[in-house]
Structure 1
Amino acid sequence: MPTFVCMMVICIFAALIAGVKKRHVVGWFFETFVTCCMAILFLGVYGVLVVGLVQLAVLACLPKLSITKIDPVSMVICTNCGANLPTTFKYCPVCEHSMKEVKAKADAVRAREEWEQGRRECPHCAELIKRKAKVCCFCGKAVEPEQYPGSETSQFTFEASAES
């Protein structure tokens, strides 16, 4: 009876640690229980303590799981069928519609967001640099500070500077 209580305590601790580390709580509980049962069969009653404590130490040393969030800009909606797809797809797998114009719209949205955040792509190396940068900090090439592409004020500014 004390061995079973010791097994349950170890299993509960393993489940609690797994929960803190955002791992599957029930899975770790049963995995620890099975490991303790095998320890009793092969190592005897004191083997439960040794194996259980080693397993708790290993679980405590594992890093937390990081939950990756999908960037909403990296997903696009097919204009033909409405499927939600990553921007890496060239054709919609549902309706086989070309995703070129959808990607162009997504790129325009991304460019607008980067512009609002004060960033843009370097025309030479395609790394994100500050909007008003005169030299790219990645490739070292000279770039001209730009106005937002597509805005009417920037077109007039470029036309006026080209004429003078």
Structure 2
Amino acid sequence: MKKSTFIANVVVWGILAAASIAFLIWANSVNNEFDENSMLLVAAVYARPVAAFSVGALITTVLVNFFKLKLGRTAKIVWRVLGIVPTLLFAVSPFAIPYLPEQAATVFAVTLIVAMAIPVLFVLFGALYGLSLAGLKPAEGEAGEDRGAEAAE
């Protein structure tokens, strides 16, 4: 992982985690009574999963960088998709449900309910995203060609 990628991810996920946790602490101090302020109600729905995703992504990004983990291109893509797709489904669910056909709306509604009921899943999604930031392992063909060239010399 490039140093700039590492720093950008640590800064972004650190700020999101800190802001979400601070909001949750404040919301609990006022007993989640927002005087019907719709923006605060939306923030209350999103804060727990955003904090969980951010913490998972932050910890995994630091560990991936510390251990210099390398993965194949396919593994990196799979981890990124598994980390981001459920998170995006959650993020657009409240806005998309009224406009979708019944079957699709059901999928989005289930995603929203699960995210609110089990926010620890977002730690896993964040961790999967963090894994996708690992360095790229050289393909077997490339490593074999390098060894062959060394042996010829």
Q: How high is the TM-score relative to the length of structure 1?
A: 0.25
Is the strand fraction higher in 1 or 2? Answer: 1
Is the helix fraction higher in 1 or 2? Answer: 2
Q: How high is the TM-score relative to the length of structure 2?
A: 0.26
Q: Of the two, which has the highest radius of gyration?
A: 1
- The answer to which structure, 1 or 2, has the higher relative contact order (CA under 8 A, 6+ apart) is 2
